[in-house]
Structure 1
Amino acid sequence: MPRKPAKKQPNLLDQLPTPPPGTPEWIRHEQNTQPNPRQARQAHINTCNRCGALILTGLTGPTTAMPTQADPTTTTNPATIRATLAQGRRAYQIETTDTALHLNELHAPPALGITVAPHHICHYTAPGYTPILNQHRKDTTTNDHPPF
């Protein structure tokens, strides 16, 4: 007697995250374009597994790095950064290059003008921080003619 074929169980790791309603199209594209690892040096836009909020995930440094999650909000106000660190909440300096965004963990308040993002805590928005994902993404391509 032939056996019934077993139902294939969905692999939760292969399923694409569902962004919250109202998410801009470029963020949806960033989330659903592979590879988008949660433990890469470069920070990527992902969805929190617990609360479903948009977060930045990446490693906290180039050598002895730890995986981390940061809220996609930033500030350069030293008083706000000191208040975040005084609460015992981790904060990350955002370092941008031409092609990547890196999260470097802060252990002391940074110098003036340094952009900082707070560690992600589910269902909590840190006061004094400005969302960065609402901004329009600048295009890296142009229709200009080459200079030759």
Structure 2
Amino acid sequence: MKQIDKLAWVELNDKTILLTKSYGKDVFYIPGGKRDAGETDEQALLREVCEELTVSLDEKTLQYIGTFEAQAHGQPEGVTVKMTCYSGKYHGQLQASSEIEEIAWFTHADKDKVAGVDKLIFDYLYEKGFLG
């Protein structure tokens, strides 16, 4: 069984969560991505968020939220994704990079528009009172 190892940046604002949609994808994702060989969680997250949203995360403010696993969206049955989530402050203005088609702020009610692992994260944040 194959597992995809990803990192995610959970940015909350007024009980909404920031999501991105890449070109050619049919669902939204929490910003982040796969780590390159030898990268720590922090290094991968800082690189991916900068690549997707053109902002710099402040590594000193990163806080671990949790790790979630589910069937990987668009992959054969049995391929799972493990998403390790962090929150943290950023510098700069959020804007979509060339690989990102759209940026959006979602509430828990929008979870039908996201990948399976992100639905688990939505539920977790909702239960904790962080997501409306």
The normalised TM-score by structure 1 is 0.25
Higher helix share: 2
The normalised TM-score by structure 2 is 0.27
Larger Rg: 1
Higher relative contact order (CA 8 A, sep 6+): 2
